[in-house]
Amino acid sequence: MGKLRLHKFIAGLSVALSLACCFACHAAPAVEKPETALRKAYPGLPFESVTKTDINGLYEVISGSNILYYYPEKEYLFVGEIYAPPGRSITAERKNEIAARKMKDLPLDKAVKTGSGKTVVVEFTDPDCPFCKRAYEYFKNKPDITRYTFFTPLAHPGAITKVYYILAAKDREKAYHEMFEGKSAAEPAGGYSEATKKLAQEHLEIGKSAGVTGTPTFFINGTLVVGADFQQLDKILGVTAQTK
C-alpha cells in the first residue's frame, strides 16, 4: 500500500471511529438514578435515602427505622441483615449510627420528662398499646433512668384524647403515670386547648422525622430498640438477673 493510500485509509478510519463514538454517545440510554429506579419498581415504599454500599451495584435504603438493600440491575429488594466476620452485623451498626444522629436532633424540651437518672432513654409510645404498657412497667422501677417520652399513637388514633390529657396537665409526669396505670380517664377531645392539640401533633411529626413506624420505639445510648424487646433493653442498660 502506497503512502498516499495509507494516509487516506488512516484518515477514513479516524472519521469512521469518530462517527461511531458520536453515534454511541447519542444512542446510549441515560443511566437511571437508583432513587428513581426504586420509586418506579416499588411505588408504595416510603424511603428517606438511597446510598451506595461497598458491594458493587448494591444500595442501602433507609425506610423509617428499617434498612433495606436494593439491587437496581434486577430490581431486587432485600430485607435482612448483612454480616461480616466474625459475625458482626453491618446493618445493626448502621442502624445505631442513624439512631445516634437522630437522637441528637430530637427536641427533648417538647417531650414528657420522667425520672432523673444518668441513663437517658427517649421513647415513642402509645397509651393504648399493650406492648407500650409492658414497657412502662419495665422502666417504672428502674431508678437510674431519665425518660423523655413522645406520644405517637399510630395504631390507636383514638388514644389521642389520652395524649391530650397528659400534655394538658400541670404535672405531666404525674398525669403520664396515672394514665399508664389506669388511674385516669381521658376527657372528650373538645375540652383541650389548641396549644395542647398542636403539641400532640408535633409529637407525631417528631416521631415521623425520627423514622418511627411502630410503638414502643426507644433510642438509648445511640442504640435503636424497636418493640418491647426486654432482652435487648437489659443488654443495653447492663441489667443482670439480680437487679431485675
Q: Quote the pLDDT of residue 222.
A: 82
Whether the CB-CB separation of 142 and 170 falls below 8 Å is answered with no
CATH code for the domain defined by 34-80: 3.10.450.70
* pLDDT, tens digit (0-9, with 9 covering 90-100), for 52-84: 999 999 999 999 888 999 999 999 999 999 999
Continuous segment of H or E residues that includes residue 149: strand 145-151
Q: Are 100 and 112 in contact (CB under 8 A)?
A: no
Contact 182, 130 (CB under 8 A): no
Q: What's the pLDDT score for residue 79? A: 95
Average pLDDT score over residue span 236-243: 64
Please count the residues of the chain. Answer: 244
Integer angstrom CA distances of residue 133 from 49, 127, 136, 180, 187: 33, 7, 5, 6, 20
Question: Looking at residue 129, what is its pLDDT?
Answer: 96
Residue 212's CB is within 10 A of a number of other CB atoms, namely 24
**For helices 194-209 and 160-168, what crossing angle results, to 10°?**
110
Q: Percentage of the chain with pLDDT > 70? A: 82
Q: State mean pLDDT over 179-183.
A: 91
Mean of the per-residue pLDDT values of the chain: 85
Written out in words, the top-level CATH class of the domain with range 102-237 is alpha beta
What percent of the chain clears pLDDT 90, i.e. is strictly above it?
A: 66
The domain ranges of the chain are 34-80, 102-237
Residue 130 has pLDDT above 70, yes or no: yes
pTM of structure: 0.73
